[in-house]
Amino acid sequence: MTKTIAAFFDIDGTLYREGLITEIFKKFIKSDIIESKRWYNEVRNYYLKWDKRIGNYDDYLIKMADIYTEAVKGLHKTQVEFIAKNVIKEKGDRVYTYTRDMICWHKSNGHKVITISGSPAELVREMSIKHGFHDYIGTNYLMDDNDQYTGELIPMWDRENKQRAISSFVEKYNIDLSKSYAYGDTVGDFTMLKTVGNPRAINPTRELINELMNDPLTRDKIKIIVERKDVVYKLDADSLKI
């Protein structure tokens, strides 16, 4: 049987130009699901540190994810799905040109395009539909028998869970990883990038670059893409100075 070539895409910071959970977080505040004072008391400091480039963006996102987990507890899935649809309707085109073009390129070449994202699965599903992914997986916020969120979750933002997700897709679609591609931007994407024959780091964090440079096999095959304004820069490991 002929094996499938796949392209695995992270969303936040790789396709979407920020974090999707930031957008649903804002909607929750406007809908009074999250009290606005929690933003100022618990999240704002993390955001300001990142905005001034003296803090870690992942710390900011994880703090929002913690509050999001509390906020959805007890909500019915239809409430979150409604907000997720509106978020993608309003913000779903705010993507990197390079990544959007690569999705189209892979589909035109008959590749299976799959997104593996740490954003809530409801957002990932809507983004997957909008950009024509063949399959997807996101962070699963668990529900009870009444379709109400329990406050428990199965994360998809760390390297271990992303690796397990890739393994499940390999089995599902008979994927040849040596000929496949992956696109990511943070250390959570490292194993996803390391696993495939054609890894692409999109506007990578310093932490991810350090991981890539310290792994001999990944260093030899990684391509680094930096998109600023309307210009795309393509680099290799030897051209980096960090």
Question: Does residue 1 form part of some domain?
Answer: no
Residue 209 in domain: yes
Q: Report yes or no on 66 lying in a domain.
A: yes
Question: What pLDDT sits at residue 37?
Answer: 64
pLDDT tens digit string along 95-112? 999 999 999 999 999 999
Q: To the nearest whole number, what is the mean pLDDT of the chain?
A: 89
Instruction: Please tell me what DSSP assigns to residue 180.
Output: -
For residue 46, tell me if it sits in a domain. Answer: yes
Residue 159 lies in a domain: yes
Domain holding 234, by residue range, is 6-239
What pTM, to 2 d.p., does this model score? 0.90
53 or 74, which is more confident? 74
Residue 119 lies in a domain: yes
Close Cβ partners of 145 (under 8 Å, ≥ 6 residues apart): none
Q: Which residues, in sequence order, are bridge partners of residue 7?
A: 113, 181
pLDDT value of position 48: 76
Read off the pLDDT of each residue in 50-79 and give the average, rounded to a whole number. 79
User: Is the pLDDT reported for residue 40 higher than 70?
Assistant: no
Residues 208 and 58: beta-carbon distance below 8 Å: no
Higher pLDDT, 51 or 79: 79
pLDDT digits (tens, 9 = 90+) for 183-221: 999 999 999 999 999 999 999 988 899 999 999 889 989
Q: Say how many domains are in the chain.
A: 1
Residue 26 pLDDT > 90, yes or no? no
User: What is the spatial distance between Cα 121 and Cα 185, in angstroms, rounded to a whole number?
Assistant: 19
Domain containing residue 136: CATH number: 3.40.50.1000
Q: What is the pLDDT of residue 53?
A: 72
52 domain-assigned:
yes
Query: Which of 11-25, 73-87, 188-202 is predicted least confidently?
Result: 11-25
